[in-house]
Amino acid sequence: MQDLVNAVADMMEDEAMALTKKYVEQGVPALQIIDAYKDALSIIGKRFEECKYFVPELILAGEMMKAATEIIKPAMKGGQSNVEAPTLGRFLIGTVEGDIHDIGKDMVHMLMDINGFEVRDLGVDVPAQRFWDEYKEFQPDIIGMSGLLTLAFESMKQVADGLKAMGVRDKVKVIIGGGQMDEHACKYIGADAFATDAVAGVNICKKWVS
């Protein structure tokens, strides 16, 4: 799907949407289409670093990804809904304070929902206090924190430290995700696991509740 990767990376929005629709209609697996977008977003990120692209291009990239998700979503759900099915567990997710990137978070939300979790999504730029309040109210089995900026580490650590101070850290699993996350960050933040890929993250969560 190099044509789709190029269309997104070169900001050809109409062409990108038309190609996305075409591939969905041809029955190309949704995750494969998402991978093409991820490849394009890496190119865009690189062009941004090289000062060939600026914030408006990042914004357009975000909008294209969101519009594509809407096109892909029905194919992923396969016309089915989890509304009647028993839930695997409760999952609380949000993009942490200081960070407004939500494309990856929304993908995790969608995949957790499709896989049978009851999901509560707090949105973006979520202060630690909201995670703690929602923990008490929603009683999730797992808390997922998303963040793409390096500064997200501190916000994530604050949430995890607060859970410890509340005496509930051993009652809830914590998973972090986003392009910058690695083993080192996971240890520093005090999370149970990290994922740089939504499918891998969902699989970890499924293992925890099984």
Minimum CB distance to ligand B12, residue 3 (Å): 19
- Rounded to whole angstroms, the Cα distance separating 173 from 6 reads 39
Minimum CB distance to ligand B12, residue 52 (Å): 12
Residue linked to tokens 């997922």? 144
The 144-183 contact track toward ligand B12, x by CB under 6 A, reads x-x-xxx------------------------x-xxxx---
Contact 182, 150 (CB under 8 A): no
Contact 115, 143 (CB under 8 A): no
Q: Is 76 in the site for ligand B12 (CB under 6 A)?
A: no
Minimum CB distance to ligand B12, residue 198 (Å): 3
- Rounded to whole angstroms, the Cα distance separating 68 from 19 reads 10
Q: Is 84 in the site for ligand B12 (CB under 6 A)?
A: no
The answer for 123, left when phi > 0, alpha when psi is -120 to 50, beta otherwise, is left
Handedness of CA 51, 98, 187, 112 (dihedral sign): negative
Q: Which is nearer to ligand B12, 19 or 142 (CB)?
A: 142
Out of 30, 105, 113, 132, the residue judged to bind ligand B12 by CB under 6 A: 105
Q: Is 116 in the site for ligand B12 (CB under 6 A)?
A: no
Minimum CB distance to ligand B12, residue 194 (Å): 8
Q: Which stretch binds ligand B12 (CB under 6 A): 1-9, 10-18, 25-33, 42-50?
A: 42-50
What are the tokens at 99?
């960070």
Q: Which is nearer to ligand B12, 140 or 201 (CB)?
A: 201
Q: Is 45 in the site for ligand B12 (CB under 6 A)?
A: yes
Q: Which stretch binds ligand B12 (CB under 6 A): 19-27, 79-87, 97-105, 131-139?
A: 97-105
- Rounded to whole angstroms, the Cα distance separating 116 from 193 reads 20
User: Can you spell out the DSSP letters for 53-70?
Assistant: S-HHHHHHHHHHHHHHHH
Q: Pick from 22, 100, 27: which is nearest to 68 by CA?
A: 22
Sheet of 142-146, strands arranged across: 118-121, 90-95, 142-146, 173-177, 193-195
The binding site for ligand B12 (CB under 6 A) comprises 38, 41-42, 44-45, 48-49, 55, 58-59, 61-62, 65, 93, 98-105, 107-108, 144, 146, 148-150, 175, 177-180, 195-198, 201
